[in-house]
Amino acid sequence: MAPSRSTRISLQSVDLRALDYLTSPSANLLCPICHSPLITPVQTRCLHTFCSACISLSLERSLTCPVDRKPLNHDDVTPAPIMIANLVNDLMVLCPNRDKGCTSSCARWLVESHVREDCEYAAVKCAKEGCDGMVERKEAEGECVHEEVECAFCEQAVRKLDIESHYKECPKLDSDCRHCSKSFPNPELSAHKLVCPEEVIDCAASHFGCSYSSRRSELDEHLSHCHFVALTPILQLHTERIETLELENKAIRQKLDILVPPRPLPSQSGTSSAANDSSSSGRDMTSEMQDYTYHLYSEYEQLRSDVERLNAQIRELDVKQDMARFNEGLRYNDEMTGVRSAINGLRMQLHWLVASRRENATGGAGAAGARSVAGSSAGGDGRRMSDSARQVVKL
Amino acid sequence: MFAQKRLGKELSNIHKSLPPGISIASASDFTNWKMDIQVLDTNPLYADQIYRLNFKFSGSYPIEAPEVTFIKEDGRDIPMHPHIYSNGVICLDLLGTNWSPVQNVESVCMSIQSMLTSNTKNERPPGDDTFVRSGYRSPRNINFVYDDNTV
């Protein structure tokens, strides 16, 4: 026994916002935001009424009442009086399956149950055991349209549901050409479409800017004097040249990208994979280039580390040498001081010796008259000399 | 969906009646409408001139404001006004921070109409040259300072 109609429930959902109303409702029942009859009406602290969903959206953008711009919080929104909700719920709406053919209308609060339980056009599960297909409720009592049947003409297995559309392409049947309304066997129809004299087609140079179109049989006349068609060879040539230049440009850009990478080796794998993604035509060239550049890079990196190491060594040696030189300088300085003092000592001794010799010489050869004067001065000198000599000795 | 439904309703209302000086130039889809507005009194700045407004709606209209600019088209010019840049961008708080989803195309047209009507200065906003050269086409990316309440 087939299940009764009322137990077959449609899972089709009803979007209340998308409903069409039988009569245009009073402007007082419209939400000021969506301009549709209120759905789940709510009221603000400033006593304005909106759909619950509309005011939440609006408050997400700005915490003010959309009507009077007074500050408004989510907490200031409360359900509207039940009377308002009843007024909008009682409005007559058309069934959402109107496009499929349902002509019924009902109060808005009943529309969900209408679709769920009554509407002849709502989608319900197929009655056949184990079939997952969906059918309109009015057809649910009939046989399952999802099982496959054999086409009467080509003996191919086709779902019952699709048999109508299958007849349009069944190789054993004829169909009418849409343009010349002559009948052709289906396999030949596509070939005919390319030559059908009645089809309206664009001028052959339409992609170069000609906006002319006419039936295929009459197009020849236009082609004979169309300026665009006359220019087509040269335009074609230019397009091709631009295309080759673009390709060449792309290849050059890829080479450039590889040779002048944005960053050195650490990110090399990343950049190369990005370059790999962007190239589709020059992929093999790129990979070859990549291998090569990888070699170059590793070599370059090695050389760089070598140079760095050498630099460090040189710096170290520099420092060592500087220190050595400095130490040596200090040593020389000390020695110099020693030598200088020794020389000074020698000089003193020399002075003393010279002075004493001069004294001896004057004492032996001097006149008797001058002796007292010279003697006194020489005696002073001698004393001074001896003083300084004594000093040197002390040193 | 939400935006389309509401714009559909607005469009049918607009086709029914519009205030004087405002007319619809084109509305072939629900993303871009063009409206013609006219200043009706004898303001010598705008006498006998018709200006064209371009409305661009996002999917979240009317929660989000439409982008409204003046455009040069069919011999329509950009009106002279201290809050309208010569590339058509309008500096009006109603279209930015003070937008409210209760407003509609008609009310925006009327606001702009009255903004023109009350203006007496034959001048562009300060820094018009730099602004236009900087290439801003979309008013949405600009942080206007609505500093002047006199016009």
Whole-number Cα distances in Å, B15 to A1, A385, B8, B53:
56, 135, 11, 17
Residues in chain B, total: 151
Is residue B71 included in any domain, yes or no?
yes
With CB atoms and an 8 Å threshold, state whether B101 touches A54: yes
Whole-number Cα distances in Å, A30 to A271, B61, B103:
58, 17, 14
The CATH number given to whatever domain includes residue B23 is 3.10.110.10
Mean pLDDT of all residues in A25-54: 92
> Does the global pTM surpass 0.90?
no
Q: For residue B1, what pLDDT is reported?
A: 67
Higher pLDDT, A310 or A124: A310
Q: For residue A285, what pLDDT is reported?
A: 65
Task: Provide the H-helix boundaries in chain A.
Answer: 52-61, 82-89, 111-113, 137-140, 163-169, 186-193, 216-225, 227-259, 268-278, 283-365, 371-394
Evaluate whether B35 touches B22 at the Cβ level (below 8 Å): yes
Is residue B62 included in any domain, yes or no?
yes
Structural domain boundaries, residue B83: 2-123
What's CA A92's distance to the chain center, in Å? 50
Range(s) for CATH 3.30.40.10 in chain A? Answer: 5-140, 148-193
Q: For residue A365, what pLDDT is reported?
A: 57
Is residue B33 included in any domain, yes or no?
yes
- Pick the range with the lowest mean pLDDT from A191-205, A222-236, A378-392, B78-92: A378-392
With CB atoms and an 8 Å threshold, state whether B1 touches A57: no
Q: For residue A375, what pLDDT is reported?
A: 45
Evaluate whether A221 touches A233 at the Cβ level (below 8 Å): no
Mean pLDDT of all residues in A171-199: 80
Closest CA to B66 of B51, B80, B77, B55: B55
Is residue B35 included in any domain, yes or no?
yes
User: Read out DSSP for B3-15?
Assistant: HHHHHHHHHHHHH
Fold annotation for A5-140? Herpes Virus-1 (3.30.40)
Neighbours of A250 (CB within 10 A): 15
Residue of A nearest to B60 (CA): A57
User: CA-to-CA distance for A149 and A155, rounded, in angstroms?
Assistant: 9
pLDDT in tens, B46-77: 888 899 999 999 988 889 899 999 999 888 89
- Pick the range with the lowest mean pLDDT from A112-121, A172-181, A376-385: A376-385
Q: For residue B17, what pLDDT is reported?
A: 87
Q: For residue A39, which residues of chain B lie inside 8 Å, CB to CB?
A: none
Q: For residue B1, which residues of chain A lie inside 8 Å, CB to CB?
A: 17-18
Amino acid (1-letter code) at residue A326: F
Domain A148-193 CATH class label: alpha beta
Q: Between B10, B63, B104, which is nearest A58 by CB?
A: B63
Q: For residue A377, what pLDDT is reported?
A: 47
With CB atoms and an 8 Å threshold, state whether B101 touches A32: yes
Q: For residue A273, what pLDDT is reported?
A: 47
Q: For residue B143, what pLDDT is reported?
A: 55
Higher pLDDT, A143 or A121: A121
pLDDT in tens, A260-316: 765 544 444 444 444 444 444 455 666 777 788 888 899 999 999 999 999 999 999
What single-letter DSSP state applies at residue A115?
I
Q: For residue B35, what pLDDT is reported?
A: 93
Instruction: Exactly one of B3, B91, B105, B108 is catalytic; name it.
Output: B91
Residue of B nearest to A32 (CA): B102
Evaluate whether A81 touches A43 at the Cβ level (below 8 Å): yes
Q: What is the ipTM of this complex?
A: 0.80
Q: What average pLDDT is seen over chain B? A: 85
Residue of A nearest to B65 (CA): A61
Is residue B55 included in any domain, yes or no?
yes
For chain A, what percent of residues have pLDDT higher than 90? Answer: 34
Q: For residue A6, what pLDDT is reported?
A: 44
Query: What are A253's two structure tokens?
Result: 């850009």
With CB atoms and an 8 Å threshold, state whether B1 touches A17: yes
With CB atoms and an 8 Å threshold, state whether A66 touches B101: yes
Is residue B140 included in any domain, yes or no?
no
Higher pLDDT, B10 or B137: B10
Residue A266: is the preceding peptide bond cis (ω within 30°)? Answer: no
Secondary structure (3-state) at A107: strand
Contact with chain A for residue B145, Cβ under 8 A = no
Residue of B nearest to A69 (CA): B100
Neighbours of B57 (CB within 10 A): 22
Mean pLDDT of all residues in A119-145: 77
Alpha carbon of B137: minimum distance to chain A alpha carbons (Å): 23
Q: For residue A201, what pLDDT is reported?
A: 84
Name the residue with tokens 């070859």.
A288
Q: What average pLDDT is seen over chain A? A: 80
Mean pLDDT of all residues in B118-132: 85
User: CA-to-CA distance for B76 and B68, rounded, in angstroms?
Assistant: 16
Mean pLDDT of all residues in B28-41: 90
pLDDT band at A5 (very low <50, low <70, confident <90, very high): very low
Kindly provide the b/e burial profile for residues B1-16, where b requires at least 16 CB atoms within 10 angstroms of the residue's own CB: ebbeebbebbeeebee
With CB atoms and an 8 Å threshold, state whether B5 touches A18: yes
Q: How many domains does chain B have?
A: 1
Is residue B132 included in any domain, yes or no?
no
Is residue B78 included in any domain, yes or no?
yes
| B91 counts as catalytic | yes
